[in-house]
Amino acid sequence: MTLSATPAYDTLARLHMRLHRLEHLQSIAWWDQASHMPPKGSEARAAALAEMATLLHRLRTDPDMKEQIARAEQEALDEPQRANLREIRRDWLQATALPDELVEAKSLAASRCEHAWRRQRPANDWAGFLENFRPVLRLAREEAQRLSEAGGLGRYDALLDRFEPGMRGATVERLFADLKGWLPDLVQRVVAAQATRPVSEPKGPFPIAAQRALSLDVMRLLDFDFEAGRLDESTHPFSGGVPEDVRLTTRYREDNFVQSLMGTIHETGHARYEQNLPRELLGQPVARARSMAVHESQSLSFEMQLGRSRPFVELLAPLVVRHLGAQPAFEPEPLHRLLTRVAPGYIRVDADEVTYPAHVILRFEIERALIEGEAEAEDIPALWDRGMAALLGIDTRGNYRDGCLQDVHWSEGLFGYFPCYTLGAMYAAQWFATLRRATPDLDRRIAAGDLAPVLDWLRGNVWLQGSRWTTDELAVRASGEPLNPAHFRAHLESRYLGG
């Protein structure tokens, strides 16, 4: 029998493979809860998910892990193993900051709040939501405090770091302050320019069965592997599961096919990333997606950079006609105008890419104040109303359904996630700026149906890299520089003003 030269590392790797398999079951239970579970299953599912969260936490905080990590650091590891050990240590440090009872209580509160939110949002029931949300916020604050004490970060930074390793609230604030400096003027200029180019409104209704068939065809165009995933419907679109079994959802309205179409393209970007993470390291932290901003950069590379580009719309147009019938609005030029129309609106997930950052800035400012104790749950509607009026000129007073109840994230205790959406948009613009330098005829190839330049570049530079590098290192290796928001502004001005 040959003894391993890295026994401590191997022990840690086996533990994380076990965690991966249990998280597989956990993720499918979450997906079912959001898409198929009957209402009376809510309490039992909440208890089951809390039980699983507690079990996973206990495995992550096994007292032996500290010694195993210390021993593994002295072993002769290769570069991918070193990167994996870095991620194992990070995971262990965050897990050990939280007691079992907090993990269980947070899971229970989030499951109950999310399930109730699905009824309360359509009913515009802020008061009912608030009753369930208070314990979620209280537990999120406790989680933030414990992570802060363990990691030496501010409370909000400690939560942000879970989704975006290395990112700090002060950096986000600086990036967003710059955005707020030029975005409102850009929105006004684009709206004024588009007023001279009217949009041909599609004539519905658009049957849900036909929309679903269209979504599936577009997923095939984007090379989604249907033997390793599926599309379903939920209240809030999302992508979940594991690389071997990716579950994504969209939502349908018979009077608006764009919502389901672009939502599907967005979630397919997430799914393709998951399906192409490094399989030789599957089950290990180093094989996970690098960060949520990088993850959002993939969904936005698909939905915004590619999906709303003129050459890709030329591919979309015949598919739309095939499933929804021929009409003037579905010709490539009118369809492109429809998909790039800029108009301030209530709903983040339906927003155009020019006004979208304003929705994210609003949520970042509110959730940071909530976690830092500068605002309470009761303050959210007033903060929301002021922010929407200032950023987008929209009145949301009394409209909780299309205002502060529209997102599922806070219901689930996901504080620190929202900045990743606009950070992801910045990364996506940076990826495509790099792509265009490498492939000067990119638009011609896309229009001809050749998506290989895009998909191959993303696969090689982002998907297959997993968490091997820090986010800054990944960006530099892929594009030659760390995150540079100038690419995002240049993209918006070029697409919408022709500058």
Active site residues: 267
DSSP SS3 for 251? coil
Measure the CA–CA gap between 465 and 202, rounded to whole angstroms: 41
Beta strand 239-242 with 245-250 is: antiparallel
Residues 6+ positions from 262 with CB-CB distance below 8 Å? 303, 307, 308, 339
Measure the CA–CA gap between 205 and 185, rounded to whole angstroms: 35
How many residues can be counted in the chain? 499
Query: String of b and e for 342-369 (b: at least 16 CB within 10 Å)?
Result: bebebebbbbbbbbbbbbbbbbbbbbbb
Measure the CA–CA gap between 337 and 331, rounded to whole angstroms: 10
Measure the CA–CA gap between 350 and 81, rounded to whole angstroms: 41
Measure the CA–CA gap between 427 and 448, rounded to whole angstroms: 26
Q: Would you say 369 and 418 are in contact if contact means Cβ atoms under 8 Å apart? A: no
Beta strand 229-233 with 239-242 is: unpaired
Alpha helices in 39-125 (DSSP H): 42-60, 64-72, 79-96, 100-120
Residues pairing with 240 in the sheet: 247
